[in-house]
Amino acid sequence: MDLMLIGLLAALVVILALVVALLRTRQSGGASEAEVMNIAQAVLDRHAARLTEAAASERDRQRGEDEARRTELNLLLKPLSENLEKVESKLQLLDNQRAELKQQLDNYRDLGKELNEKTSQLSSALRRPEVRGRWGEMQLRRLVELAGMVDYVDFDEQLTVISDDERLRPDMVIKLTQGGQIAVDSKVPLDAYLDSVALQGPERDTAMEKVAKQIRTHIKQLSDKEYWRELDNSANFTVMFIPIEGAFQEAVGVDPSLVEYAANHKVAIATPFTLLGMLHTIARLETQFQIAQKIDSYLQEARKLHKRASVFADHLGKAQKSVTSATKHIDSAARSFDRMFMKSIEDMNSRAIASGIDEPDNDPLLEIPAPDYDED
């Protein structure tokens, strides 16, 4: 663009110079006007060509610079464009996730309403003693099944025990393979615990103190039954199963002496986690005991087999000695026969032949081969 301006200015200067020259020529009577115009035209044509060439060159230069600037701008804007595309994609994904989240929240809200209704129904049902007791027994049996005690231990539910003309009935008696027994009773202190669920602060602490008192009462009642006295070969304690882990933990929080109190009354408190661990341990011991029994049985059979093999080996040794002795006696008899009889018979036979007596034909004794024995 600058070159074009310079060219135009140069052309204007030339034209002005020609005009001035033309005026001077007229005044002096020199060259004609036509000659001056021809010269001016030639100068203008030459400068026009140069100007056109310069303009074309300037356009090419500008086009190249524009292309370079466009390329550079594209390089600068490409990351921004890619980031904008990523942002747009993420925004679209967030919109989709927000829609899904809204749907899930709606589902959770509906599920929460249904759960609240079911919880309310369950709470009402568990406040009934017979339902609460049956629920505790079901939890107890389920834990026994999870621990694998069904395969390794025989257990009875609601077994009746007679004590001082009183019929006692623990929820479960675990019968071990080696003859031992463990009484288990399920106690569910739900009334006070259900009341404490919706409470906070000091009111909840007061409600949990009631739960702890209920557990103490159950411990005392269970201790007074003394199941271990009436069950043969029983452990000298009773397992009190509390199916609600949180209830026992919070009760111990307000009354830390509960565990010691239970131990002093020969009661072992078990929550689902501790009872499951206890049952797993018993199942493992039972398995090891049964394996030991099988190994002992195999050892007994092996001892019997070894004893029988020893007797057989003794008989076989005696028989071998007898065979060896008989073989020696037979060899001795054969050698004795050969010395005492065969040589005499051969001598007699030789004398008979010499005397002209023929050998008898088809004598079966002559067909008997001589014995093959080793010379000692």
The model's pTM: 0.48
Q: Which residues have a Cβ under 8 Å from the Cβ of 266 and sit 6 or more positions away?
A: 223, 228, 236, 237, 238
Question: Residue 20 pLDDT more than 80?
Answer: no
Q: Phi, psi at residue 55, to the nearest 5°?
A: -65, -40
Domain boundaries, the chain: 1-55, 128-293
Q: Round to whole Å and give the CA distance between 357 and 339.
A: 24
Most confident range, picked from 178-187, 289-298, 343-352? 289-298
- How many CB atoms sit inside 10 A of residue 87's CB? 10
Q: Phi, psi at residue 300, to the nearest 5°?
A: -60, -45
Mean pLDDT of the chain: 75
Most confident range, picked from 27-41, 48-62, 79-93, 176-190? 79-93
Please tell me the predicted confidence (pLDDT) of residue 376: 46
Q: Which two tokens stand for residue 14?
A: 């030339």
Most confident range, picked from 114-118, 164-168, 248-252? 248-252
Which segments of the chain are extended strands (E)? 154-157, 161-163, 166-168, 172-175, 181-186, 234-241, 267-270
Contact (Cβ atoms closer than 8 angstroms) between residue 242 and residue 271: yes
Express as a percent the part of the chain with pLDDT over 70.
67
Q: Which two tokens stand for residue 369?
A: 């081969």
CA dihedral of 35, 41, 47, 52, whole degrees rounded to 10: -160
Question: Which of 124-128, 266-270, 273-277 has the lowest average pLDDT?
Answer: 124-128
What class has domain 128-293?
A: alpha beta
CA distances from 72 to 23, 62, 332 (A): 56, 15, 125
DSSP letter string over 250-281? HHHHH-TTHHHHHHHTTEEEE-HHHHHHHHHH
Question: Which of 23-37, 141-155, 330-344 has the lowest average pLDDT?
Answer: 23-37
Q: Phi, psi at residue 361, to the nearest 5°?
A: -85, 150
> Would you place residue 261 in the very low, low, confident or very high pLDDT band (cuts 50, 70, 90)?
very high
Buried b (16+ CB within 10 A) or exposed e, 285-298: ebeeeeeeeeeeee
The more confidently predicted of residues 39 and 333 is 333
